[in-house]
């Protein structure tokens, strides 16, 4: 709790802001799977999704979201995301990307172990880069970082504007 005010590796965000974004994303993705409209989603952006329990608040949103994604038909459902309609499968891919990349951002911010699971990195590189490119065109990812990508993790980070 005493480190929430520290700056994060995400420009302009504190560690609190980063955690709040991830937790709020869990809330918003649940809302998307329940056909929420853009105005309802936007209203959650100013809410406190951390409160006094950063760890517990993540699971407060993530457990029910996992249940929503596991429901019959959830992955084939079309949701009305602010950047355009997409399948539940794409939404799940976006959530996996968001949580993975922001876990790395948090680790970097707090000077912790930044190593991502290699199987997860491989999955994201082989199956989710189309989403990154589409979302980059809409301003949701930074430009690709130049430089040598000596490992798959370095490639993932570079292709998502990190590293």
User: 40: which residues sit within 8 A by CB, 6+ positions away?
Assistant: 31
Alpha carbon distance 158, 139 (integer Å): 16
pLDDT score of 163: 76
CATH class of segment(s) 1-81: mainly alpha
Spatial separation of the C-alpha atoms in residues 119 and 163, rounded to whole Å: 19
pLDDT, tens digit (0-9, with 9 covering 90-100), for 74-117? 999 999 999 999 999 999 999 999 999 999 999 999 999 999 99
Q: Cα(158)–Cα(163) distance, rounded to whole angstroms?
A: 6
Q: CA-CA distances (angstroms) from residue 5 to 1, 2, 14, 141, 156?
A: 9, 7, 6, 24, 28
Residue given tokens 């596991």 in the structure block: 70
Round to whole Å and give the CA distance between 80 and 120: 26
Domain residue ranges of the chain, discontinuous segments joined by +: 1-81
Please give the pLDDT value at position 101: 97
Place of tokens 């329940």: 34
Cα 139 to chain centroid, rounded? 15
pLDDT at position 2 is 82
Q: What is the mean pLDDT of each run of 10 residues along the chain (163 residues)?
A: 90 96 96 93 94 88 96 96 94 96 97 98 96 92 85 95 87
Say which residues have a Cβ less than 8 Å from residue 125's Cβ, sequence separation at least 6.
Answer: 152, 155, 156, 159
What pLDDT is recorded for position 6? 96
- Whole-prediction pTM: 0.94
């Amino acid at each position: 709790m005493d480190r929430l005010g520290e700056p994060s590796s995400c420009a302009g965000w504190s560690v609190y802001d980063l955690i709040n974004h991830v937790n709020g994303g869990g809330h918003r993705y649940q809302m998307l799977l329940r056909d929420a409209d853009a105005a309802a989603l936007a209203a959650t952006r100013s809410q406190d999704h951390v409160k006094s329990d950063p760890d517990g608040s993540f699971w407060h949103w993530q457990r029910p979201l996992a249940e929503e994604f596991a429901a019959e038909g959830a992955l084939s459902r079309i949701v009305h995301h602010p950047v355009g309609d997409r399948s539940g499968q794409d939404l799940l891919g976006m959530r996996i990307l968001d949580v993975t990349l922001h876990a790395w951002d948090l680790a970097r911010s707090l000077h912790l172990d930044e190593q991502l699971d290699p199987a997860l990195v491989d999955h994201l590189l082989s199956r989710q880069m189309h989403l990154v490119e589409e979302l980059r065109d809409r301003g949701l990812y930074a430009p690709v970082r130049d430089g040598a990508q000596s490992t798959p993790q370095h490639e993932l980070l570079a292709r998502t504007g990190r590293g």
